[in-house]
C-alpha cells in the first residue's frame, strides 16, 4: 500500500518545485536562526534571496559531523528550546555525542515517513509489530514506535536484550512484524533454535531491518530462518532517524522521502556533485525540519541514486545499498563506534600507552569488539589482581562511552608492531556476504 500517494508518486517537475519552495524557506529559516549558517553564508557572500530553485542548493555550504561537534550541544539548533519536545543523541567522533532536538512538528514528520515505510512493507492496522531496536537516546526504538502507532498497527516495545522473553511474546501473542538490526534478527533465530522454537511456531511475516550494512545473503538467511519477508530501512540521527528511505515490494533500491530529505551524491574528495547513477557520498538537506535543520549534511555513506518511476508506482528517487563509508566509523551491533572514541578513552587513563589495536569479529551472528592495549612500563607489574583491576577500569570506561561492551586485552609494553607510516588501529574480520 502507498501511505501518501500525493508525496510518494509526484511527477519529477512537481517534486522539484516543492523541494525548491521548501529549500527557500529552510535557508531563510536557518539564516535567521542559526549563527553558524548565517556566518558560513556571509563568508560565501550568499543571501537567502540567492536560493530560488532546488538547483541552487549547490551554492550552499556543506555541514559535517565535525561542525556538529564544534557546536555541541545546541549550537545548530534553530528552534527555541521551548519548542523542543524530544532529544536523541548518536555517537560523535570522540567522547561528545551528537545531540538532535525535535519539535512536535518534527516528530510528526518522522512518524509519517516511518508510517510510509511500514505501509510499503505491507504492514496494516491488523498487525502486531514488535520494535526491537534499542529504546533510549538511539533513534531506532522510539522512531519505529511512533511510526507503528501512526500507521495504526499495535506496537510491542520489546527493545533489545530479553531475547528469550521476546521469543515467548512472538509465539504467545502471534506477533506478525518486527523491526530490529539484521544481526539481531539472526541472533533471534539462533536463540529460537536453542529454545527449540520452530519457525512454524511464530507468525512473523514482515521485518524492517537497518541501522547497519547488510547483504542479500543475510536477507535470504533471515527470511529463511524467521519465515518472513525482510525489507531494508535506512536513516541517520542527524537527519531524523530511521525512515529516511525504505524499500518497496520491488526491492530495487530504497525510496527516499525526498519531500523532506533532499539527497545529493558528491565526490568525497572534490565535493563536486556526481551524475545520477554514479557512486559517491550521500548528502542530505532537511527540507522541513524545525529543531535542527541541516544544509547539505555529509553522511559519509557511499551509495548511488536512481531516478525514474518504480514498478510499485512510486516516483521518489531510490538509493542503492550502502557500499561503505568514506570515514572510519564502525557499526557494531547497530551502534556507531569511531576508533577515535576508543583512542581518547585510552589516552585519558595514565596506565595505558597510545599503542592499541581494535579487532572486530563476528561470532555466529553477533559482532564482537576487542581492544588490545599496551600498558606503560611502570604499570606493567606481576600482580594479577592489579592487572585485572586495570582491565576492568578500561572496559567500564569503554562501555560508558561506546554504549556497548568491548573485551579488553592488556599487553606488555612494546608488543604491538610499530608502524612506519600511518598507524593501523583497526582489524575488521567481519565478512559481509
Binding stretches for ligand DLL (CB under 6 A): 90, 133, 139-140, 210-213, 232-237, 241-242, 299, 301, 322, 325, 331, 336
Residue with Cβ nearer ligand DLL (254 or 315):
254
CB of 428 to ligand DLL, least distance (A): 14
Local structure of residue 110 (DSSP, 8 states): H
**Could you say which DSSP state residue 81 is in?**
G
Nearer to ligand DLL, 20 or 141 (CB): 141
Rounded-to-integer distance, Cα 347 and Cα 357, Å? 13
Work out how close the CB of 404 gets to ligand DLL at its nearest, in angstroms, rounded to a whole number: 12
Of 120 and 232, nearer to ligand DLL (C-beta) is 232
Residue number with CB closer to ligand DLL (331 or 357): 331
Taking the least distance from each CB to ligand DLL, the nearer of 112 and 301 is: 301
Kindly calculate the radius of gyration of the chain based on its CA atoms and give it in whole angstroms: 23
Q: DSSP for 382-409, please give it.
A: S-HHHHHHHHHHHHHHHHHHHSS--EEE
Pairing of β 366-375 and β 407-411: parallel
C-alpha span between 351 and 151 (Å, rounded): 53
Residue 241 or residue 291: which is nearer to ligand DLL going by CB? 241
From the list 166, 142, 120, 174, the residue with the least C-alpha distance to 311 is: 120
CB of 224 to ligand DLL, least distance (A): 20
Provide CB contacts within 8 A for 269, sequence distance 6+. Answer: none
Which is nearer to ligand DLL, 2 or 137 (by Cβ)? 137
Indicate the DSSP class of residue 352: E
How would you label 215-225 residue by residue, b for 16+ Cβ within 10 Å and e otherwise?
A: eeebbebbeeb
User: With contact defined as beta carbons under 8 Å apart, do 205 and 237 qualify?
Assistant: no
Q: How far is the CB of 184 from ligand DLL (least distance, A)?
A: 11
- Indicate the residue among 123 and 394 with the shorter CB distance to ligand DLL: 123
Name the strands in the sheet holding 366-375, side by side, starting at the edge strand that comes first in the sequence.
407-411, 366-375, 352-363, 426-428
Q: How far is the CB of 144 from ligand DLL (least distance, A)?
A: 7
Q: How far is the CB of 370 from ligand DLL (least distance, A)?
A: 22
Q: Return all residues near 43 (Cβ < 8 A) that are at least 6 apart.
A: none
In the complex, minimum distance from the CB of residue 332 to ligand DLL, in angstroms, rounded to a whole number:
11
Name the grid cell of 280. Answer: 559517491
What span, in angstroms and rounded, lies between the C-alpha atoms of 412 and 227? 49
Across-strand partners of 286? 261
Give min distance, CB of 319 to ligand DLL, in A. 10
Alpha carbon distances (Å) from 303 to 60, 243, 321: 22, 17, 6
Helices (H), 101-249: 104-120, 139-151, 163-173, 182-195, 216-226
Give me the least distance between CB of 325 and ligand DLL, in Å please.
6
Judged by beta carbon, residue 127 or residue 247, the one nearer ligand DLL is 247
Amino acid at each position: 500500500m502507498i501511505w501518501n500517494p500525493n508525496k510518494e508518486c509526484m511527477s519529477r517537475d512537481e517534486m522539484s518545485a516543492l523541494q525548491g519552495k521548501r529549500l527557500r524557506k529552510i535557508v531563510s529559516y536557518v539564516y535567521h536562526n542559526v549563527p553558524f549558517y548565517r556566518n558560513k553564508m556571509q563568508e560565501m557572500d550568499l543571501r537567502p534571496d540567492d536560493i530560488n530553485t532546488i538547483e541552487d542548493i549547490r551554492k550552499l555550504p556543506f555541514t559535517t559531523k565535525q561542525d556538529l561537534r564544534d557546536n555541541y550541544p545546541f549550537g545548530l539548533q534553530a528552534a527555541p528550546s521551548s519548542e523542543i519536545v524530544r532529544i536523541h543523541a548518536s555517537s560523535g567522533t570522540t567522547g561528545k555525542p551528537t545531540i538532535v532536538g525535535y519539535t512536535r512538528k518534527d516528530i510528526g514528520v518522522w512518524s509519517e515517513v516511518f508510517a510510509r515505510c511500514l505501509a510499503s512493507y505491507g504492514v496494516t492496522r491488523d498487525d502486531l509489530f514488535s520494535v526491537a531496536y534499542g529504546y533510549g537516546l538511539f533513534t531506532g526504538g522510539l522512531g519505529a514506535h511512533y511510526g507503528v502507532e501512526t500507521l495504526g498497527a499495535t506496537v510491542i516495545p520489546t527493545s533489545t536484550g530479553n531475547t528469550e522473553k521476546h521469543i515467548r511474546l512472538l509465539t504467545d501473542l502471534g506477533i506478525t512484524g518486527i523491526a530490529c538490526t539484521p544481526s539481531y534478527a539472526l541472533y533471534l533465530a539462533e536463540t529460537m533454535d536453542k529454545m527449540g522454537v520452530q519457525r512454524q511456531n511464530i507468525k512473523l511475516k514482515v521485518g524492517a531491518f537497518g541501522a547497519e550494512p547488510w547483504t542479500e545473503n543475510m536477507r535470504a538467511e533471515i527470511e529463511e530462518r524467521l519465515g518472513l519477508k525482510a525489507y531494508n530501512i535506512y536513516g541517520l540521527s542527524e537527519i531524523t532517524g530511521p525512515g529516511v528511505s525504505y524499500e518497496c515490494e520491488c526491492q530495487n533500491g530504497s525510496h527516499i522521502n525526498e519531500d523532506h530529505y533532499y539527497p545529493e551524491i558528491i565526490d568525497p574528495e572534490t565535493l563536486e556533485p556526481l551524475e545520477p547513477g554514479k557512486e559517491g557520498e550521500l548528502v542530505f538537506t532537511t527540507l522541513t525540519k524545525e529543531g535542527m535543520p541541516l544544509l547539505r549534511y555529509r553522511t559519509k555513506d557511499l551509495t548511488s541514486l536512481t531516478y525514474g518511476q518504480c514498478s510499485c508506482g512510486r516516483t521518489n528517487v531510490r538509493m542503492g545499498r550502502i557500499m561503505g563509508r568514506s570515514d572510519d566509523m564502525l557499526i557494531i551491533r547497530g551502534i556507531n563506534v569511531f576508533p577515535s572514541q576508543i583512542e581518547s578513552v585510552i589516552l585519558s587513563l595514565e596506565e595505558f600507552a597510545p599503542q592499541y589495536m581494535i579487532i572486530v569479529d563476528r561470532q555466529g551472528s553477533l559482532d564482537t569488539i576487542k581492544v588490545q592495549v599496551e600498558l606503560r612500563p611502570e604499570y606493567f607489574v606481576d600482580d594479577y589482581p592489579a592487572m585485572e583491576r586495570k582491565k576492568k577500569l578500561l572496559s567500564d570506561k569503554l562501555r560508558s562511552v561506546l554504549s556497548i561492551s568491548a573485551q579488553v586485552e592488556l599487553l606488555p609494553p612494546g608488543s604491538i608492531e610499530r608502524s612506519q607510516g600511518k598507524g593501523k588501529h583497526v582489524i575488521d574480520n567481519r565478512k559481509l556476504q
